[in-house]
Structure 1
Amino acid sequence: MTAACLMAQPLTAANFAPYGDVLEVAGTPDRMINAGLCGRFHDRARLEFVDGRAGISLFDAEARHLPYALDLMERHPLGSQAFIPLDGVPMLICVAADDGGRPSEVCAFLSQPGQGINLLRSVWHGVLAPIGCAGRYAVIDRIGPGDNLEEVRFDQPLTIEGPRP
């Protein structure tokens, strides 16, 4: 890692695509269901599991604030992991490329209320970080045997800053 400070950018489907999927209700629904009273935004996440099964867990995360000290990244080599906010709380999403089993070229994104994400299998990412206040999330990820967690702690934290008002 070369930078000591990084500015979080807005979360969009285009800029997040190398790391996963943005989950949100935006644009025209793929189809209308329930007698035309509900828009279905169909199949929006590239879920992938080496083995095991998909499970839904609920996370209750403490608030974080910007600037944020990123000192730990993790990845899940056996399955993707989706985070769907239940409270509409924005989250800081830090992701990185892999360089020989370690994160490199960290990128940071700041979600808008209502946006969720799906992290692709083996993508390095920071821990769940709701910004400004605590947040609850539905998490869809792999449930099964084997070690599905790799962690790397940084000797020097990377400071992540947000947009200036």
Structure 2
Amino acid sequence: MTSETTERITVQPKPITNENFARWGQVVRLPDTDPNAVQVNQGTAQKFSHLAEFVNLRPPKTDSANPNKSLDSATANIAIFKCYKPVATPQFGIKLLERHPYSSQMFMPMGGDGNGSYVVVTAENGPDDKPILSTLEAFRCDNTLGINYKPNVWHHPMIVIEKPVQFMTITYESGVALEDCEEYWFTKESGSEDGIAALIQLA
């Protein structure tokens, strides 16, 4: 939900669901029911498969049908993001968004106990290949679930609230900065000295 002011947009985060996040990616969580779940580890565990779609749009260099041979090949980078500075203000200012043109990106909280939260912010891509500020959406998530962005989705770096959260992330990366992660700063759109183009209402 957004409201226009004379200066900037204010966005109220909504609870994330599989349905309202589907255009941006997938919510990664234990399903309530899964007829395809199987017993594993000698009957001591259940396995829930294909909870997110992990995508690498860079074709291998050896692929003769590769339409863009200038792209460097990429490998999966399994990393940990230690988000140690929770936002303590009732509003958070959006100055930039980023996207990963050729890879999905998954964030999965480690050791989630349900007591910490984070906010995901997304936006549509415009005809000028830049994020459309007026389409900002924000989603509130507790730390028992993860999210997986589709390739090329504009989003804000993770906004952690209440307490620090560590995320395991998986992204295909080639080491070429603009191919791995493209940033867009809302300098002109903000019309303000602080560069803030929109506000996320956290409290």
TM superposition score normalised by structure 2: 0.74
Are 1:97 and 2:105 counterparts? no
Q: Give deviations 1:84-116, integer Å, cap 9, x for gaps.
A: 001423210001110021112110000023110
Distance in 2, matches of 1:53 and 1:124, equals 21
Q: How many angstroms does 1:13 deviate by? A: 0.7
Distance in 2, matches of 1:128 and 1:53, equals 23
Larger Rg over CA atoms: 2
Q: Give deviations 1:133-163, integer Å, cap 9, x for gaps.
A: 221110000122432211111232211114x
Runs of at least 5 residues in structure 1 that lack an aligned partner in the other structure: none
Amino acid of the structure 2 residue aligned with 1:23: V
Distance in 2, matches of 1:13 and 1:124, equals 18
Runs of at least 5 residues in structure 2 that lack an aligned partner in the other structure: 59-73, 191-195
For residues 7-26 of structure 1, the aligned pairs below 5 Å read 7-26=12-31
Greater per-residue strand proportion: 1
Distance in 1, matches of 2:98 and 2:3, equals 19
Distance in 1, matches of 2:122 and 2:111, equals 23
Are 1:127 and 2:157 counterparts? yes
Q: Give deviations 1:28-82, integer Å, cap 9, x for gaps.
A: 2422222332121201111111231222001111212442111110001021100
Are 1:46 and 2:53 counterparts? yes
Are 1:73 and 2:78 counterparts? no
Matched-pair contact (CA < 8 Å) for 1:7–1:160: yes
C-alpha distance 79-151 of structure 1, shift in aligned 2 (>3 A): same
Which of the pair has the greater relative contact order for Cα pairs under 8 Å at 6+ separation?
1
TM superposition score normalised by structure 1: 0.90
Across the aligned residues of Structure 1 and Structure 2, the Cα RMSD in angstroms comes to: 1.8
Distance in 1, matches of 2:31 and 2:200, equals 27
Q: Give deviations 1:1-32, integer Å, cap 9, x for gaps.
A: 98310110001110000000100113124222
Identity %: 25
Matched-pair contact (CA < 8 Å) for 2:3–2:10: no
Matched-pair contact (CA < 8 Å) for 1:11–1:112: no
Matched-pair contact (CA < 8 Å) for 1:16–1:22: yes
Are 1:160 and 2:184 counterparts? no
Amino acid of the structure 2 residue aligned with 1:151: E
